[in-house]
Structure 1
């Protein structure tokens, strides 16, 4: 949208009004760079005869999706995979919950590591978004043709978050703050990388053995947790607690849905995620 508003992209508008996640648009692209909308829950607003509005969870049944869920970030990640041409590349901004959420999240991460080359994860620092406490990442991956063997051999993770402190006005994230990551990423030859204090490599087998295939990985010691004067602001701490509680509630809801008896009294096994606002 930003490119189009600045006259890049030709005379014909590439923008259409609608729900991008409803179906496969059929178009395929060499590169997808995107920051999908944050917010865990997809929903529709329904107005009844009395004029009262209510929201209902919205899930998407698509043959090209690995999992059915109302989690918007997981759905956008699956949608982006579909949009790529074979050997096409994507860089996607994702919140932390995509890296550790169970249920459909675990399914998506497994399929992601198996069916695309998820080669790099950049852990972004807090303080760079208008909403305080937002924890986000950039996932870099390439789509690959069908194969009996997993395409992701190694996931390289760069930690730009631990012991980094940025704010929107007084200490904003600048291009020079990304120079070390760019050097480690080594865009000229991604297969010739070296580990550093902030840049570590994790093999496919190691990732698959982690609980729920969690990609929420840190290894640096967080100095702010050891020195009281360096503790995050109260609103940041509150946001983190809220996120953790929501994740726990989602897990309990998912377990309940799996073991709850059906209308005929039997217990059915199925997988979907109930989200909380």
Structure 2
């Protein structure tokens, strides 16, 4: 599919999404439209797979009569195979196209009320996975779609009319799932998530990292690699950052993530499935990462994260017996969990792995326990590989400048830390700034080649960092001071004198004009 067709699909989906807007805010109607798109995706995937199985019998899935004995035999075989391959099952009568057709039927005597059918089908998708390997991946996926919400309409009839209209519009769009080499729908889904994020204000930071920042993180952790055994995001949001990493390599073995917010956790699982990540290849958990880590026995080759900036956490003294934190001697302060996330990620980092985390600038220079942890990571462990300063106002919900810290347990150049000041390279947009392709390329090339560029990057020795008492504030290492042009005072005085002479001449001219007009001169 061409870029034009891709943009056309994105616009079509966004237009349909806006039919649901009504009185709902962005994150509310997001859950409905993304859920409907996901249901359509599951239906089309099911139909395609079933038709493949039935091709030898020269029949189609939709032609099966579910009430006959022969039809039931077909469905039993397809059900078993679909659970193994897809992880779920839908009957022909439960497919999206069939429900959209019923909801918009104008045949006299037939009912086009579909709300109860839709709720039953969404429940059946989950029920079809019970007792199978994919059960956890589909558990309560559609729980945020309240079809009885008055925000969809005051009466059941009004709600039915709106939902039927949305399903009808979606039904007319061909997702082209048979073109397996393309991920057009996945890209369109990402586009929608980004659009919702831009309209969700402060809440957006809970579920979405701007694509440009995700690209920088993904390129960093995949440097020098074509395949990854595993990638992990301890605060995975909608899963977009994990999926961005996959775009930078030929293959990712497994995806792991944890997310606190239940709605966002559902969105992450949908996002994985919709990007054709097999249910056996991803493991997304819902729980507080710092308090209740769900992958405690795992180590990962690539780790990326954009955790909530300076979030509160328990900092419970009991954590001092937790292997993630015990060796440091101190816990991150309860009002700033930034280094707690760093410690958690380093614990899970494989010896051959790379981790990149976005954090507020304060982590570079704040004192107390954070200074102690920072020193331990550099002096005792020598894990810090690079510090990258980003522009302000590039994240949803906050305008503060941020940085990326890169850590490796086995560093190629263990005698220095690379500092990059990319804070001045960006494009200014209406509501926020964003990194351009050339800005991303400049960061990545500098990181990979570890080059020193005047007023942009610097390789600081460990001794130099020690002399700075492990303060990592970027201006201490990258000199961005611009020498101002020297001013010739004698020439400036002469120019002022010349201007005063010109002004006296102009005043005289004005006085002559005023006298001719018979009005009082300003002087």
Shift of 1:203: 0.6
In our comparison, the structure showing a higher alpha carbon Rg is: 2
The answer to whether structure 1 residue 27 and structure 2 residue 298 are counterparts is yes
The range that moved more, 24-33 or 110-119, is 110-119
Q: Which residue of 2 aligns with 1:174?
A: 436
Higher strand share: 1
Shift of 1:164: 5.6
In the alignment, the residues of structure 2 paired with residue 84 and residue 116 of structure 1 have an alpha-carbon distance, to the nearest angstrom, of 14
In the alignment, the residues of structure 2 paired with residue 164 and residue 174 of structure 1 have an alpha-carbon distance, to the nearest angstrom, of 6
Flag the 1:153–1:168 CA change in 2: closer, same or farther, 3 A.
farther
Q: Which residue of 1 aligns with 2:388?
A: 122
Write the deviation string for residues 162-193 of structure 1: whole angstroms up to 9, x where unpaired: 4766346575322222222222122xxx4xx3
Work out whether residues 127 and 166 of structure 1, in 8 Å CA contact, stay in contact via their aligned partners in 2. Answer: no
Q: Give unpaired runs (5+ residues) of structure 2.
A: 1-238, 244-268, 484-523
Shift of 1:26: 1.2
Structure 1 SS opposite 2:351 = strand
Give 2:323's match in structure 1, choosing from 51, 60, 63.
Answer: 63
Work out whether residues 120 and 140 of structure 1, in 8 Å CA contact, stay in contact via their aligned partners in 2. Answer: yes
Shift of 1:102: 0.9
Write the deviation string for residues 61-89 of structure 1: whole angstroms up to 9, x where unpaired: 32331221322111000000001111211
Higher helix share: 2
In the alignment, the residues of structure 1 paired with residue 482 and residue 430 of structure 2 have an alpha-carbon distance, to the nearest angstrom, of 22
Normalising by structure 2, what TM-score? 0.35
Write the deviation string for residues 184-228 of structure 1: whole angstroms up to 9, x where unpaired: 122xxx4xx3311201111101112214x11012121279xxxxx
Structure 2 SS opposite 1:16 = strand
Q: Which residue of 2 aligns with 1:206?
A: 464
> What are the residue-to-residue correspondences of 1:239-250 with 2, within 5 Å?
none
Shift of 1:58: 5.2
In the alignment, the residues of structure 1 paired with residue 414 and residue 373 of structure 2 have an alpha-carbon distance, to the nearest angstrom, of 14
Shift of 1:153: 1.6
Work out whether residues 377 and 384 of structure 2, in 8 Å CA contact, stay in contact via their aligned partners in 1. Answer: yes
Give 1:112's match in structure 2, choosing from 377, 391, 394.
Answer: 377
In the alignment, the residues of structure 2 paired with residue 86 and residue 170 of structure 1 have an alpha-carbon distance, to the nearest angstrom, of 37
In the alignment, the residues of structure 2 paired with residue 75 and residue 36 of structure 1 have an alpha-carbon distance, to the nearest angstrom, of 10
Q: Give unpaired runs (5+ residues) of structure 1.
A: 44-56, 146-150, 224-277
Equivalent pairs, count = 199
Shift of 1:154: 0.7
Shift of 1:131: 3.0
Structure 1 SS opposite 2:394 = coil
Shift of 1:107: 1.5
Flag the 1:166–1:88 CA change in 2: closer, same or farther, 3 A.
same
